Structure 1
């Protein structure tokens, strides 16, 4: 069954036409432009998001050369929210992006409830998640219409439905993670009681039909949040299997089975997906700056683009350490006020050392997350699956293997998120398929084995953690973490 799979992300929208026999037969990408504002604001134009979905989807269908498409799947960027009019579909606010930090004060005001929130939701009380941004929109922009994540608005534009999927809902701070349903006490905590919230659907559920991508009306199914879509595509279907996506940020997720773990180390638990009547969970850790740190290097003129990283990077950083907290620190520190640092520089430091230090800094934070995931699971991770654009950087992937002390298997396609959504859509349309049958088999494009000794890796991580401690300012009274 051929699927048009759309991955609506932070910096662009990608559309694939995927055929079970022939694989990816068409790809179209359309950029979108987040706007960074003073005070930690990050916004997108909702109309640009919708236009990118329509353009990418139509271009991919055209490129497929008449191959009949039977369903449309949609993966979304997660915690980005907007206000909109349900009657007209018109946006009433910008889309406030998951990176936006303007709701920090709202979280600080609720700091006394952080432990209760963690138990109820599996998440951390932080502006990264949807609810604080929803409250900020209500208090600062508009009280009209509904306020939802962008997937709900996009689906409404395509089909008229008012829904979100279970994995996306679990990233909101409004969902009781065990019941997988909206929690009235949580909505009250954020001043959102009385808000109309979308119906929560399974990821393998058909939610409506759309003719937005050609004359034929097609079922829309396979709704899933981006990181969980990649987890599914990479075959992480059993507990302790894990992947890390290297995109704008880096996101490490590990399957935890049918019970939502409560992390003891500052990580978060979410619904992995709801499909075939089951609801497995995952534990995850977030790194706010990965490709965005590379773009910073580009802006400074250190590299022309990401493809040049391996040409420029030195074999050793010559003692330079980087904490790439250009947008604060996420798991497990949850310090939005942290800033980036470069230390250990001398007059002999060159751009190649700085580039290597930034890449090692990304890998070091992911390695810390991987260690904490293992602690929560009660067993070490043995391999890490990796996807995303930065997996093309051998310097970063080797640093990841060295610092995490495990092999890193690079996913064989650059389209893991879209392929995961496509697999979910197949489950919706082909009821006889199992989860295992829906996920295409794959072998790693490249595997990176650790080269550093255990002592060298531990020494680096100890020095890097000391640099992190020096980076974060003293914690303010009443902080959220």
Structure 2
């Protein structure tokens, strides 16, 4: 038997699974992670907590299997979040700046004259969600003697006892510093953000040389076989990469991604990104939504219900939101609108509006945001056949049905919430000559809304979007 220990370090928890060569999950472990909003627009995490939690869940799943069968480790990680640390001591200097953090919006506005160059070279809009402005901010605060990286860089550094300061190419493509054709840092982009090359990790392929474990708490010498950004790993887990597969991952935020193979395809409002790099690049179109699961959590707190499942039960007591529209632009709007100054709104309220209608509006808001991105990806006249869905919120049949109704196509839910873990594990297994089977669908939600009603709902959403702009 061959086993891969797959780690998914997300925004709100670290989870690990032991998965064998047939795709069977033999053991699981998870630990929640804290996140702090320390000022308006500031979202932070603790790098030491992230490392401790990640090491803990890996050790716990390893203890449940025969260590002799373990061929290596695979890592899937939250993207764009940034860590700075002292390379001499290995200690973090300052907080992790989350991908949700918008403190660098002013810095991005000051650099607006470079937006076209940044977009052309990186495929990304000049937006505070991405890593480079956060890196510059942290280095200014911490001093030039320190290094920076994304969360994958930090975890690999810690796992290898400081032997490797590297970044996986797909994660690097989310920094605003990597040229999509060169597949490496571009000097002109470093100049734009004022970042020295020596502070950055080296860019390596998704199945490249990440070294071996050399840290307390884990056996020495376990090879790190593969690293992927979480959304990219989910696309691979769905069997994507080639044009045609569109997936939506429902987490704290949402990622809607369509593989384009080796073609660098561009669309207004969505990013062109490197999905992964093996012998050659696999590119994708993607749109990111800041508040999807987080929007459900926010509405739960607003209405005084315990959690998102309870919110779903409340929402299911009414047939629709009765005109209420929630736009959860709490940290601005992401793709395809890219407006960091947008504010959250709740509109369309009437005398008959009750808590259940507001709850329903929250689920509709997630579906409409995903539909905005999916529509922006399509060429003129192109239609979606289906969207493959994964992530924790897919457990809500209400949300998945709302998504199918708003999109006007089937939503195919994969039975595993952890498709990203399967995706990165498949890449790791390929390093040792094993082909892991793709994830299997568990249920399909066909659209139940007629075209006129769908158009009416989409028009109401677009009107509500206008009210978010300052």
Scaled by the length of structure 1, the TM-score of the pair is 0.93
Q: Is the 8 A contact 2:241 2:258 kept in 1?
A: no
CA distance in 2, matches of 1:95, 1:207: 22
Deviation at 1:211, TM superposition (A): 5.1
Distance 1:112 1:28 in 2: 47
- For 2:413 and 2:331, locate their aligned partners in 1 and report how far apart those are by CA, in whole Å: 26
- Equivalent residues of 1:107, 1:127 under 8 A apart: yes
TM-score computed with the length of structure 2 as normaliser: 0.95
Kept after mapping to 1: 8 A contact 2:8/2:16: yes
Q: Deviations over 1:260-280 (max 9, x none)?
A: 2222x21101101112x1211
Partner residue of 1:394 out of 394, 397, 402: 397
Distance 2:54 2:287 in 1: 28
**Which residue in 2 is equivalent to 1:307?**
309
Q: Does 1:53 align with 2:57?
A: no
Other-structure match for 1:468? 465
Compared with structure 1, are the counterparts of its residues 422 and 443 closer, same or farther at alpha carbon in structure 2 (3 Å cutoff)?
closer
Q: Structure 2 matches for 1:420-439, cutoff 5 A?
A: 420-430=423-433, 433=434, 437-438=435-436
| CA deviation after TM superposition for structure 1 residue 248, in Å | 0.3
Match for residue 212 of structure 2?
209
Residue 324 of structure 2 corresponds to: 320
Match of 1:451 in 2: 448
How many equivalent residue pairs?
Answer: 464
Give CA-to-partner distance per residue, 1:63-118, whole Å, 9 cap, x none.
Answer: 33667322111111111112112222111121111111011111111101111111
Q: What is the CA–CA distance in structure 2 between the aligned matches of 1:330 and 1:452, rounded to whole Å?
A: 27
Which residue number in structure 1 is paired with residue 280 of structure 2?
Answer: 278
Mapping of 1:302-381 within 5 angstroms? 302-313=304-315, 314-375=318-379, 379-381=382-384
Matching residue of 2:187: 184
User: C-alpha displacement at 1:194, in angstroms?
Assistant: 4.3
In structure 1, distance between residues paired with 2:284 and 2:371: 18
Q: Which residue in the other structure is 1:442 paired with?
A: 439
Unaligned runs of 5+ in 1: 474-481
Note the C-alpha offset of 1:14.
Answer: 0.5
**Separation of aligned partners in 2, 1:375 and 1:83:** 40
CA contact (8 A) 1:13 1:29 kept: yes
Helix, strand or coil for the counterpart of 2:310?
helix
CA contact (8 A) 2:247 2:387 kept: yes
After superposition, the Cα gap between the structure-2 partners of 1:65 and 1:145, relative to the gap in structure 1 and judged at 3 Å, is: same
**Residues 148, 201 of structure 2: 8 Å contact kept:** no
Change in Cα spacing, 1:76 to 1:22, as seen in structure 2 (3 Å) is closer
**Maintained 8 Å contact 1:83/1:144:** no
| Structural mapping, 1:93-172, within 5 Å | 93-159=94-160, 160-172=163-175
Q: 1:333-378, CA deviations, whole angstroms, 9 ceiling, x for partnerless residues?
A: 11111111111112221111101001101101111110111128x7
- Are 1:248 and 2:245 counterparts? no
Are the structure 2 counterparts of residues 187 and 11 from structure 1 closer, same or farther at C-alpha, using a change threshold of 3 Å? Answer: same
Contact 1:93-1:142 within 8 A present in 2 as well: no
Q: How far apart are 1:298 and its partner, in Å?
A: 2.5
Aligned equivalents of 1:331 and 1:302: distance in 2? Answer: 30
Contact 2:312 2:359 in 1 (8 A): no
SS across alignment from 2:8 = strand
The residue number in structure 2 matching 1:223 is 227
